[in-house]
Amino acid sequence: MPELPEVATVVRGLRETVLGARITSVVLNAPPKSIELSRSFKSDGFDRVITGKEIIDVSRRGKNILLALSGDTTLWVHLKMTGHFFFHRQDKPVDKHDLVLFDLKLPDNGTASLRFNDYRRFGRLRLYPDDELWLQKGLRELGPEPLKITAGDFVGLCKGSRRMIKPALLDQSFIAGLGNIYTDESLYAARIHPKRLTSSVSKKKLIELHAHIQRILRTAIRKMGTSVDSYSSVNGQPGQYQKYLKAYNNEGSPCRICGRPIVREKIGSRSAHFCPRCQRA
């Protein structure tokens, strides 16, 4: 699933391509479960509500993409496992996995097509009035942003909980935006075992972890994210951070620090990659 750096890269690509564009028509090939509408819009339908709207801003909250539209409306998108936004020429042939096609009139009077493509069909597009948006489950309970939380607040967050640290960091209500990749990489960099209880990690070590999380996320954003499956930016370009992974997806490879093989272990319902010597339980 795309995590904070991948979503941030998509948001940056959308800002560079569709900001200020007007949606002139919409074609829906998506299954009903992929589209969610506020009850305020139910009588009109997704395509009728969004047609004619201008894209006035694109932002991110956690792993969520928010396209602010004219008329105090927001298109809220979660890419889930394999969702993509692709920016194309309007005449480009439609792919069988293009679930939603937005025809656009660009600010320079040119035309283009923005397509939501998702071969596993887990992605979600939701349309809400701005005054309802932040009341919705999936947004209202999100925790602090990892690139904005201070070291002191991060320490307080961890010390106020008694949970295994890997599942805690994956919990979007605890901290929003981290997933398996960057949690494994940050814990490896800080030499913290993924099963350690948050409350048992020293203040000094938590400050170190906070610094690693922010450093790794910022580097991954500069490298356009990590492509280990199907993720790519809006122009189809893959990320580059997979070249720098030291723990995630490196099961059996020697640890860069001590040489012992990286192991993979299921913790809760998710896998964790770590060095059993450098990250002692």
Q: What is the largest CA-CA distance in the chain?
A: 62
Q: Is 73 a domain residue?
A: yes
The structure tokens listed for 18 are: 């569709």
Output phi, psi for 153, to 5 deg: -70, -35
Q: Which of 91, 80, 174 is nearest to 118 (CA)?
A: 80
Instruction: Say whether 248 sits in a helix, a strand or coil.
Output: coil
Question: Catalytic one among 5, 6, 60, 63?
Answer: 63
Task: Check whether residue 115 and residue 161 sit in a common domain.
Answer: no
63 is catalytic: yes
CATH of the domain at 83: 3.20.190.10
Task: Check whether residue 158 and residue 218 sit in a common domain.
Answer: yes
Q: Is 142 a domain residue?
A: no
Q: Is 183 a domain residue?
A: yes
Task: Check whether residue 120 and residue 61 sit in a common domain.
Answer: yes
User: Rounded to an integer, what is the distance from CA 156 to the centroid of its chain?
Assistant: 25
Task: Give the pLDDT confidence of 111-147 residue by residue, as tens digits.
Answer: 999 999 999 999 999 999 999 999 999 999 999 999 9
Report strand pairing: 64-69 vs 73-78: antiparallel
Last residue of a domain, one of 133, 168, 200: 133
CATH of the domain at 237: 1.10.8.50
pLDDT at residue 16 above 90? yes
Question: Catalytic one among 105, 159, 205, 270?
Answer: 270
Residue 229's pLDDT band (cuts 50, 70, 90): confident
2 is catalytic: yes
Ordered DSSP codes for 155-191: HHHHHT--SBHHHHHH-TTTSSS--HHHHHHHHHHHT
Last residue of a domain, one of 133, 163, 183: 133
Q: Is 117 a domain residue?
A: yes
Task: Give the pLDDT confidence of 165-201 residue by residue, as tens digits.
Answer: 999 999 999 999 999 999 999 999 999 999 999 999 9
Identify the pLDDT of residue 261.
Answer: 98
The residue segments making up the domain with residue 212 are 151-274
Identify the pLDDT of residue 43.
Answer: 82
pLDDT at residue 148 above 90? yes
- Number of structural domains, the chain? 2
Task: Check whether residue 80 and residue 190 sit in a common domain.
Answer: no
Identify the pLDDT of residue 35.
Answer: 96
Residue 28's pLDDT band (cuts 50, 70, 90): very high
State how far the alpha carbon of 105 is from the alpha carbons of 51, 161, 247, 251, 254, in Å: 11, 49, 44, 47, 52
Task: Give the pLDDT confidence of 55-94 residue by residue, as tens digits.
Answer: 999 999 999 999 999 999 999 999 999 999 999 999 999 9
pTM: predicted TM-score of the whole model, two decimal places? 0.96
Q: Is 51 a domain residue?
A: yes
Q: Around 254, how many Cα atoms within 13 Å sit in the side-chain half-sphere? A: 4
CB count within 10 Å of CB 263 equals: 16
